[in-house]
Amino acid sequence: MPANWYIPSSASATLVVGLAKGGAIAFRVTPAAEVGEIVGPTTDPVAIGVRNVGSVAGTIGLRIRDLDGATVWTGSISLDIDEFGWVYPALNYPMPARDLRLRAEAYHDSIVDDYTDKTIILIVRVDTATTLTLEPTSIEPGGIYHYKGRLTRTDTGAGLSGMEIIARREGAEVGSGTTGADGNYDIPATGPTTAGSFSCQAVFQGVVPFAASSADARLGVSLLAAQVVWPLVAATLGLSLVVFGLSK
């Protein structure tokens, strides 16, 4: 066998000493939600911020876990040494019927480098009721009338103070006011300049945790009966006086 039968060969590889590690995690998520509400919609996205605190540039694994359930989301981010970056996970995770404890983790392999916890508080919605009375219920064109009523919570019947009530007529806003200590409100408005029957509404638009509610009433606009009758009476009396004088 020839001496050079075995031809020499070789291979090379780069040994990376160190690794990319995630640290100093920032975690942004809505503080509260109602049951069934989607956590992390496009209008209020979840965000994870992380810094590469490792010794080399590289990819850092990220995930969000429901501490009382399963893993909600997994992803990653590539960062240089000491670089900080943001990731915006699309969770689309429905709020359970409990406070939601979430943990954002940065990890490599099976090792968690750093994490941050957030709790989303479950909002228990409180239904409300709004009442409405128009005073007076009938006015002359351009006259002043009032929206009066009370805003209460339906579970206890207690009045809700400091809440904005919007007065509308035929769908258009004509005034607004704030409920007092007992939940009552009184909103003055100027009537339309044309005669007719008009739909009026008092609207509470809702504020966490109180649900929206509204009430309706109708406003009549016309010449008041007295304005029509008294001139006729006066004219009739005047005529009678003339006749009476002639008869003397």
pLDDT in tens, 27-53: 999 999 999 999 988 888 999 999 999
Calculate mean pLDDT across residues 130-151.
Answer: 97
All domains of the chain, ordered by start, with CATH? 22-123 (2.60.40.10), 128-222 (2.60.40.10)
The pLDDT of residue 14 is above 80? no
H, E, C per residue of the chain: CCCCCCCCCCCCCCCCCCCCCEEEEEEECCCEEECCCEECCCCCCCEEEEEECCCCCEEEEEEEEECCCCEEEEEEEEECCCCEEEECCCCCEECCCCCEEEEEEEEECCEEEEEEEEEEEEECCECEEECCEEECCEECCCCEEEEEEEEEECCCCCECCCCEEEEEECCEEEEEEECCCCCEEEEEEECCCCCEEEEEEEEECCECCECCEEEEEEEEECCCHHHHHHHHHHHHHHHHHHHHHHHC
Calculate mean pLDDT across residues 207-213.
Answer: 93
pTM for this structure?
0.60
Calculate mean pLDDT across residues 75-98.
Answer: 94
At residue 170, the pLDDT reads 97
The average confidence (pLDDT) of the chain is 87
pLDDT tens for 56-66 read 999 999 999 99
At residue 91, the pLDDT reads 87
At residue 110, the pLDDT reads 86
At residue 225, the pLDDT reads 40
The pLDDT of residue 239 is above 90? no
The pLDDT of residue 241 is above 70? no
Residue 231 binned pLDDT confidence (cut-offs 50, 70, 90): low
